[in-house]
Structure 1
Amino acid sequence: MRTATSRPVTSRPVRRQILTFAAIGVINTATYYGFYLLFLIPLPYLGAHVLAFLLSMTGSFFLNARFTYRTRPTWRKFLLFPLTNAANFLITTAGVYVIVGVLHQGSRFAPLVASMAAIPVTFVVSRWVMDSEAGAVRMIA
């Protein structure tokens, strides 16, 4: 919906959501990375990656429900939320493997580098799951 002097009604909430999602992403990445380094002590890098990913994803769900999408967390959304990170998980896991296992680079920064490619995909899918009013067209508008 447009008026003569305003932007589409949906543009402001989407921009706010993107900025909040990005801020939570920074927090989530720091949380993930802290857990990753902690678990890297007793576990191999892929085990540390998986465990840190699962723990940080749970925190991400609650932060995004409250602050990004301003929606009540439900069991349905909680159970669907991992789908939002499926692409993220596959991209970052493949990236970590390629960086460490194929390119023989260090395991300390590999997850940070690998995760950058997954951010846009994660936002689009998480908005679809968390914001039940966001249709396919509005989701990318």
Structure 2
Amino acid sequence: MTVRSQLIRFALVGVVNTGTYYALYLLLLTRLPYVAAHVIAFTLSMVGSFFLNSHFTYRTRPTWRKFVLFPLTNAANFVITTSGVYLLVDVLRLSSRYAPLGAAGAAVPITFVVSRAIMLRPDRDPESTSRAGRTPISR
């Protein structure tokens, strides 16, 4: 699979993930402050993103090791989107309902590069996968 097709698939997963995040965010926003709604929705959608990217984008086996490392792929995304949401809502006084959509786009290239490095990192020794925490995640 080429990097270009992976990027296209990553973008498609990103659209699904953004929709999931945004729906959760709006739901949580009815009961929580916008920052709490953002953090919870972001975390839940990241779990879904891991499995979609494992199977659809990179066609790789999800392992516990990759699952544990996957949040690192979103660390920059989290900082950029959280800062962006804050900037758009508290500084620019835009609606908290739409701010996350505007903040999401800037983080996509960084997230792709980091996720590709983690998801396509080869397992070193198949014999030691259970000892190293790289066992497949049960379905």
Q: TM-score, normalised by structure 1?
A: 0.85
Name the CA distance, whole Å, in 1 between partners of 2:8 and 2:89.
Answer: 31
Partner residue, 1:61: 50
Partner residue, 1:4: none
In the alignment, which of 16, 28, 37 is matched to residue 26 of structure 2?
37
Amino acid corresponding to residue 112 of structure 1 in structure 2: L
What CA deviation, in whole Å up to 9, does each residue of 1:56-113 have, x standing for no partner? Answer: 0000000000011111100000000000000000000000000001111110110000
The alignment yields a C-alpha RMSD, in angstroms, of 0.8
Structure 2 runs not aligned, ≥5 long: 123-139
Partner residue, 1:120: 109
Partner residue, 1:79: 68
Structural mapping, 1:1-141, within 5 Å: 13-132=2-121
Name the CA distance, whole Å, in 2 between partners of 1:103 and 1:113.
Answer: 12
Amino acid corresponding to residue 116 of structure 2 in structure 1: R
Name the CA distance, whole Å, in 1 between partners of 2:47 and 2:69.
Answer: 12
In the TM superposition, residue 21 of structure 1 has moved relative to its aligned partner by 0.4
Structure 1 runs not aligned, ≥5 long: 1-11, 134-141
What CA deviation, in whole Å up to 9, does each residue of 1:5-45 have, x standing for no partner? Answer: xxxxxxx5111101100100000000000000000000000
Matched residue SS, 1:39: helix
Name the CA distance, whole Å, in 2 between partners of 1:27 and 1:104.
Answer: 27
Amino acid corresponding to residue 103 of structure 1 in structure 2: L
**Identity over aligned residues, as a percent?**
66
Number of residue-to-residue matches in the alignment: 122
